[in-house]
A = this chain, B = another copy of it.
Amino acid sequence: MLQELRERVCEANLELHRRGIVLYTWGNVSGIDRARGAIVIKPSGVPYAALTPEKMVVVGLNDEVVEGELNPSTDTRTHTVLYRAFPGIGGVAHTHSPYAVAWAQARREIPCYGTTHADYCFGPVPCTAPLTSEQIRRDYERETGLEIIRTFAGIDPLARPMVLVNGHGPFAWGRSAGEADRNAVILEEIARIASATLALDANAPPLEEHILTYHYERKHGPGAWYGQKDQTA
């Protein structure tokens, strides 16, 4: 079942590791088959060297394991909340990449300081509010997802496909597992460059609105002219 999606999700998990932003098992990527309502996700705590498409776990949109003998990622319920709330997304990636985590730990959104950021995220990368102990008692992973949803009230999740979870770290998403992956890598680079920018000027101004808009539209607007006509991402 879902052989192709299993392969793509497995590959997306391995790719995150190859990109050098995941230490040990500190990351997980999932992808969804919307027609079947089935999510393929990395098993919990399995080393990257041992990952195969067969070891991926299939879960439903209500968190139930549909197929697979291994436990799914402990963050699964955060992924499913995102899939339910953001119908346009096809993949979710979570990492502990160092600079994105540093911003999450400093509990600051990442301002859009330049075109590198604007090319992929239309405005600051939001940071969620911290979870209360009541939320943690209720369901930590699920509440983490719900906080992300709350943070994105009024924001198009595909125009800003990334978020910092307060005191924790980044989640990214996209139209596919591969795109979620790429956005997680880009978020780390954006965070790293933003840190270096702040070190040069603690009051660095954000990019002017008109350049932000221009750059984002160049890659993502209806008449986008970046790349080749038959490219999907």
Residues of chain A at interface, number, CB under 8 A:
62
Q: Which of B189, B201, B228, B231 is close to A98, meaning CB atoms less than 8 Å apart?
A: B189
Interface-located stretch among A3-11, A85-93, A130-138: A130-138
Q: With A44-B226, A200-B108 as given contacts, are A192 and B23 in contact (CB-CB < 8 Å)? A: no
B45 near A227: Cβ-Cβ < 8 Å: yes
- Taken residue by residue from 205 to 233, chain A's Cβ proximity to chain B (1 for < 8 Å, 0 otherwise) reads as 10110110010001000000111110100
A105 to B101, CA, bound (A): 21
Q: Which residues of B contact A136 (CB under 8 A)?
A: 210-211, 214
Q: Which of B185, B211, B225, B228 is close to A43, meaning CB atoms less than 8 Å apart?
A: B228
Interface-located stretch among A32-40, A111-119, A149-157: A111-119
A228 near B71: Cβ-Cβ < 8 Å: yes
